[in-house]
Chains A and B, each alone.
Chain A
Amino acid sequence: MKVTLFATCIVDLFQGNVGKATVELLERLGCEIEFPESQVCCGQPSYNSGYVNETKDAMKKMIDTFIDAEYVVSPSGSCAYMFHEYQHIFKGDPVWEPKAKKLAEKTYELTQFIVDVLKVEDVGARFDATVTYHTSCHMTRLLGVKEAPMTLLKNVKGLKFTELPGKEQCCGFGGTFAVKMAQISEQMVDEKVLHVEETGAEYLIGADAACLMNIGGRIERQGKPIKVMHIAEVLNSR
């Protein structure tokens, strides 16, 4: 199966390990990975800040980059959702709305793709640790992917799972919110870190690099002994 990887700009620039793990994991599951060089960013930072028209060129670039893929897979629920959002943004546009629809139909978040398309629930991973999992807002509420990551984690050998209290609460990232409303964002991430600590888990796992960058950044600043890892890295552990 041919998979076109939408790595996301955060992974490209800051979380290379997540990209590598995604590639290795999907290859192990029999996929052939392609990475189109013309991919940039899905446009969320400016789109979410209200610069809708300013962002349209970037979105069109992304649509053209991925339009001919068989499957588009991204290790980020939020960025994968953005590809689904394009069809609403270009609503009424005779050229771009149909293209955006086509793109949305083949775009999946990584765990969603593994469970729903590859029909794999056990990726054969081993990870000897106690973990908790942060359910990212856009991935669960907007993209609607709730079960897939849990299904996959449940089948990882050696992994002990502990539920995160207040898991439905946003971590306080919110794109430019984190800097524009930094004082509120800090309180939100603080509460999230507190909840992670309460679980006693050694690792916080998530499926969205941006949330992990936020929570992880706070954990690191506070010098807490909790490690943060993307679900692709856990599923790629053997």
Chain B
Amino acid sequence: MKKVFESPKSLTKDPFTYCPGCHHGIAHRLVAEALDEFGVREKTIGVCPVGCSVFAYVFFNCDMICAAHGRAPAVATGIKRAKPDSIVFTYQGDGDLASIGTAEIVHTANRGENITVIFINNAIYGMTGGQMAPTTLVGQVTQTSPYGRDPKTMGYPIKVAEMLSTLKGVAYISRVALSKPAYILKAKKAIRKAFQTQIEGKGFSLVEVLSTCPTNWGLSPIEANKWLEENMIPYYPLGEFKTPEEVS
């Protein structure tokens, strides 16, 4: 018998420190598989955010740096401009990318920086214990929206993929989910395409990954997957929003 599924080389052997059922582990593996498959691990520099995945530097087996909260795209810009031949990716959560780092992500995308952004949208702040994120759904209960997110005072959840795909400098944007094998296979394809976009020098690529946070959602991992499919996907439709072919 041949081994047909194993941990990619671009992950270290360290066990993930994420909560049981958390999708970070799946997203990490998909990124690492893409780096393995393109043979770019040894020229990759990853930028981890502030949030649960601040520890991503432990798990990715490539050069890594930790940015200040929200600034990962700016740090990635500095790296890529200094070392244009390297493969640079950021890995950011929704608080990091869509709240405190909104300016950085918008302008990095707009400059068409040739980097790849993996954007984990789980509709909540994980590391600090479950506060409202910019992507928290209307009515969703969190520590800081204890009566449910009220759009009158808290605004509506931000659709990052749609918003950024309006920018001309952007080459590839897609939204995927990790709640079942079929979605995971599609997510893998999207992440590969994002890195391919960068490898071919076509410009900015981003994959928004709808993920669960069972701990802070107060659900079991299986229930969380169901919640994601029933509540997040209807508001955050899956699919490609921009592909390199459209770049003039």
Q: Do A and B bind each other?
A: no
Partner-A contacts on B (CB < 8 A): none
Partner-B contacts on A (CB < 8 A): none
